[in-house]
Amino acid sequence: MTRTVVTLTGAMVFAGVAAAAGSDGNAIPDLNDPKVISAGRNVFLKRHCSHCHGANGDGGINLTKRDLTDPTYVFQAIAEGRERGSMRMPASRDVLSDEEIWLTTAYVMSIGLKSK
Amino acid sequence: MTHQASYSKWPIGCAAVSCAARVGLLLSLGSVTAGAQVLAPGTEDPNNWPQYHRSSNAWRYSPLEQINKTNVGKLKVAWIRQGGDITHGIQETPIVIDGVVYTITAQNRVAALDARTGKEIWRFEPKLDPLTKKVLFSPYSRGVTVGRGKVFIATVDGRGIAVDQKTGKEVWQVQLTDFANCQGCNFTSPPVLAGDVLTFGSTAGELATAGKIFGVDADAGKKLWEFETIKQDPKSWPGESGKYGGGGAWMPGTYDAETNTVYYGTGNPGKDFLAAGREGDNLYTDSVIALDPKTGKLKWYRQEIQHDVWDYDAAYEALLFKKDGKDLLVHPNKSGFVFVLDKSDGKIENVWRLSETINFVKDIDPKSGQLIGRLDLPIGKATLVCPSAFGARSWNSGAYNPKTGLWYTTVMELCGAITPAEQKSDPKDYSTPHIGAEDLGKLQRVAGHKPGRLDARDPITGQRKWTYEMDIPSFGAVLATGGGLVFNGDPLGIVRAFDADDGKVLWSFNTGSGLRSGIVSYAVDGKQYILVPSGWGSYAAILLPALFPELENAPGASTLIAFTVED
């Protein structure tokens, strides 16, 4: 998936428009759907995101204190990894499928700080 | 133990070759005589920091005494060098030889610096496999190795590289690990130079792979041998469990020229917290192993933690001592126990407790080394384990001062709640820790104990002389000096100099970022320096804020700060 496609589809999905498709041709799930969020938590735990973020997102790198309302940002961070200051999150593209990354995106957004 | 050093206050410097020859001669003779001087163990080549632990007995002791108890309060910054990339901070112990500092920072970027000024002489930046972006143990390194006219680098994509010591130009490189097919097993620590052979220990614990130590011709760059840290024995590893058994030797070993032996500590078995499927003692994980560096053949081993399910690596430093006619090897284990072994055969001389908070066993038999009263970890249920998976101490080494007879080491008193879980083993699942649990365990404080300490102890008996308590545990290595000082730095970046005799803080300085590195000392042009690598990072930096909110916004860095006392 190119960055452009992610940006457009991510924004659409978060607005509740679950009709877009990723580069693998699969539909992107509704990120507000509780079932999607629950499935995302399973991926989060299975893939040991909890190692750094804690099982409920309140670990060393505390997601519950972060503004995670931009699906593009969250997807990209999981897919490509992230380096901020001295911190580094490994990239998960090709380790997780796009579908799994979207599911995880849904869960991560559900536990982050919400927009006011 | 008596080690009355009799060396001049300002020992005369020597060129690298002559120093090496002198040290080699001393060691081969088993003597400490050099001309009219008598050099006590650990005091050879005093102006330099020529290897990871400075001397072959791994004491991290600089005999220099120009900076001492009376003038340490006058320490001033001499120079500062920024390393650039701060990812995972700076974790190295710099090497200093004849006025040149050899330093390595994130992405395996190596540089030679003028030790007087910090000015760069050359730099070498290897092109790394892009897969290093995905793997767990990257892009940090804990140091380089220098010798035979070359600087040797063990890379985070599993290669050995040699560059010319004077120019930084590449001399050879060799791929050692099967990087893409072993969940990114690689090197995060420098190789050991054992004569004309380099030994490289790979990462393996927390990865779906089996650990290896490689022997390489230091001049030609040809691989000579591989030693598998997972024993091929169905009693030790049923079925195919050893295939992903971990056990990497991920910290530098100790080369003992006297016996031509390289001692390595090995890491935990995998999956870390899941016992099912790997019933057996899981040799040679959590062990001290003694190898012949020429052949890679095993001379002896001593497993410290049999069938480990608590992530208690034995990868830490192996200190060598002579006492009462015995040659001893002292080896701290992550579990909070310290093992004292006969260095000739690994026989146990003593086992003592460094940590005051241990529940994973009731005890370890100080004669047989057997674990007594193990704590099992049921799948799917949280069990409080002490020490936590961070250990009673992290990998950052302690230091021994022969004048005081004390070993100075950091200690943690923390527990962690571990919930084992089933997990598939996938050597291409690069970013997922192969640990058999959701995480490394939620950290908990221990009532009645500060979370961290710096202890001064007899290394053989464990008897404690003094302690310095910390609200946040230290993750930095310790330096001991002939000036009667002990240096250590904390995660907030405060470096302290302690009185080696009583632990009184004599000097402190805020470096601006926490320490995960090795402070060293050297002398050039008749002036002693204290060199402090400052830069918070690593998985400790990621995980600790859950228990220590003060560290949530702790800044990273990759800085070398050299201190000296002005004339």
Does B86 contact A at CB distance below 8 Å?
A: yes
Round the average pLDDT of chain B to a whole number and report it. Answer: 92
The residues that bridge with B261 in the sheet, in sequence order, are: B256
Rounded Cα distance, B204 and B187, in Å = 10
Average pLDDT over residues A93-114: 92
Nearest by CB to residue B537, choosing from A45, A86, A94, is: A86
pLDDT digits (tens, 9 = 90+) for A57-102: 988 899 998 899 999 999 999 999 988 889 989 888 888 899 999 9
Assign A10 a pLDDT band (cuts: 50, 70, 90).
very low
Residues of chain B contacting A86 with CB distance shorter than 8 Å: 86-89, 535-537, 541, 555-558
- The answer on pLDDT for B9 being more than 70 is no
- Cβ–Cβ gap A54/B89 under 8 Å: no
Residues of chain B contacting A54 with CB distance shorter than 8 Å: 439, 442, 546
Domain ranges within chain A, ordered by starting residue:
3-20+30-111
Do B189 and B153 contact (CB within 8 A), yes or no?
A: no
pLDDT the model gives residue B438: 82
- The answer on pLDDT for B157 being more than 60 is yes
Distance from CA of A19 to the nearest CA of B (A): 30
Task: Select the more confidently predicted residue: B474 or A84.
Answer: B474
Residues of chain A contacting B414 with CB distance shorter than 8 Å: none
Assign A110 a pLDDT band (cuts: 50, 70, 90).
very high
pLDDT the model gives residue A24: 57
pLDDT the model gives residue A22: 55
Does B89 contact A at CB distance below 8 Å?
A: yes
What ipTM is given for this predicted complex? Answer: 0.75
- Cβ–Cβ gap A90/B135 under 8 Å: yes
pLDDT the model gives residue A115: 52
The DSSP output letter for B542 is H
Distance from CA of A16 to the nearest CA of B (A): 31
pLDDT the model gives residue A23: 54
Distance from CA of B525 to the nearest CA of A (A): 35
pLDDT the model gives residue B128: 98
Decide the pairing of beta strands B120-124 and B145-147: unpaired
Assign B200 a pLDDT band (cuts: 50, 70, 90).
very high
Does A56 contact B at CB distance below 8 Å?
A: no
Nearest by CB to residue A55, choosing from B86, B134, B439, is: B439
Candidates B431, B536, B551: best to mutate against A (most CBs of A within 10 A) is B431
Task: Select the more confidently predicted residue: B350 or B20.
Answer: B350
Nearest by CB to residue B546, choosing from A47, A60, A83, is: A60
The DSSP output letter for B362 is S
Q: Which B residues in the span 52-81 are in contact with A, Cβ-Cβ below 8 Å?
A: none
Q: Name the closest residue on chain B to residue A93, using Cα atoms.
A: B134
Distance from CA of B464 to the nearest CA of A (A): 33
The one catalytic residue in B311, B313, B455, B490 is B311
Tokens 């998960």 label which residue?
A: A92
DSSP B323-348: ETTEEEEEEE-TTSEEEEEETTT--E
Of B432, B517, B519, which Cα lies nearest the Cα of B140? B517
Does A52 contact B at CB distance below 8 Å?
A: yes
Candidates A44, A48, A64, A104: best to mutate against B (most CBs of B within 10 A) is A48
- Cβ–Cβ gap B536/A95 under 8 Å: no
Assign B115 a pLDDT band (cuts: 50, 70, 90).
very high
Nearest by CB to residue A90, choosing from B430, B439, B541, is: B430
Coil, strand or helix at B507: strand
Q: Provide the token pair at B207.
A: 């990865």
- Cβ–Cβ gap A85/B438 under 8 Å: no
Coil, strand or helix at B125: coil
pLDDT the model gives residue A18: 40
Do B198 and B152 contact (CB within 8 A), yes or no?
A: yes
Q: Which B residues in the span 383-442 are in contact with A, Cβ-Cβ below 8 Å?
A: 428-433, 435, 438-440, 442
- Cβ–Cβ gap A83/B87 under 8 Å: yes
Q: Name the closest residue on chain A to residue B85, using Cα atoms.
A: A86
- Cβ–Cβ gap B431/A86 under 8 Å: no
Assign B4 a pLDDT band (cuts: 50, 70, 90).
very low
Distance from CA of B536 to the nearest CA of A (A): 7
pLDDT digits (tens, 9 = 90+) for B358-403: 999 999 999 999 999 999 999 999 999 999 999 999 999 999 999 9
- The answer on pLDDT for B151 being more than 60 is yes
Residues of chain B contacting A59 with CB distance shorter than 8 Å: 439, 442, 543, 546
Contacts of B405 (CB under 8 A, 6+ apart): B1, B3, B458
Does A88 contact B at CB distance below 8 Å?
A: yes
- The answer on pLDDT for B562 being more than 60 is yes
- The answer on pLDDT for B7 being more than 60 is no
Region label for B204, one of left (φ > 0), alpha (ψ between -120 and 50) or beta (otherwise): alpha
- Cβ–Cβ gap B431/A61 under 8 Å: no
Of B164, B188, B253, which Cα lies nearest the Cα of B215? B253
What percent of chain B shows pLDDT beyond 70? 93
Distance from CA of A37 to the nearest CA of B (A): 18
Distance from CA of B85 to the nearest CA of A (A): 8
- The answer on pLDDT for A2 being more than 50 is no
Residues of chain B contacting A92 with CB distance shorter than 8 Å: 134, 431
- Cβ–Cβ gap B544/A55 under 8 Å: no
Residues of chain A contacting B539 with CB distance shorter than 8 Å: 52
Task: Select the more confidently predicted residue: B284 or B8.
Answer: B284
Q: Provide the token pair at B402.
A: 């022969």
Does B485 contact A at CB distance below 8 Å?
A: no
Least confident of A16-25, B14-23, B415-424: B14-23
Rounded Cα distance, B28 and B257, in Å = 7
- Cβ–Cβ gap B537/A87 under 8 Å: yes
pLDDT the model gives residue B38: 56
Least confident of B20-29, B57-66, B71-80: B20-29
- Cβ–Cβ gap A51/B556 under 8 Å: no
- Cβ–Cβ gap A90/B545 under 8 Å: no
Distance from CA of B156 to the nearest CA of A (A): 14
Candidates B137, B138, B432: best to mutate against A (most CBs of A within 10 A) is B432
Tokens 């400790």 label which residue?
A: B540
pLDDT digits (tens, 9 = 90+) for B231-289: 999 999 999 999 999 999 999 999 999 999 999 999 999 999 999 999 999 999 999 99
Average pLDDT over residues B305-327: 97
Distances in whole angstroms, Cα of residue B507 to Cα of each of A26, B73, B112, B162: 62, 5, 29, 39
pLDDT the model gives residue B439: 84
Q: A3-20+30-111: which CATH architecture?
A: Orthogonal Bundle (1.10)
- The answer on pLDDT for B22 being more than 80 is no
pLDDT the model gives residue A59: 87
Whether B311 is catalytic is yes
Assign B28 a pLDDT band (cuts: 50, 70, 90).
very low
- Cβ–Cβ gap B438/A50 under 8 Å: yes
Per-residue 3-state assignment (H helix, E strand, C coil) for B101-116: EEEEEHHHEEEEEECC
Average pLDDT over residues B471-495: 98
pLDDT digits (tens, 9 = 90+) for B507-538: 999 999 999 999 999 999 999 999 999 999 99
Work out the widest C-alpha separation in chain B, in whole angstroms: 67
The DSSP output letter for B440 is S
Rounded Cα distance, B485 and B477, in Å = 14
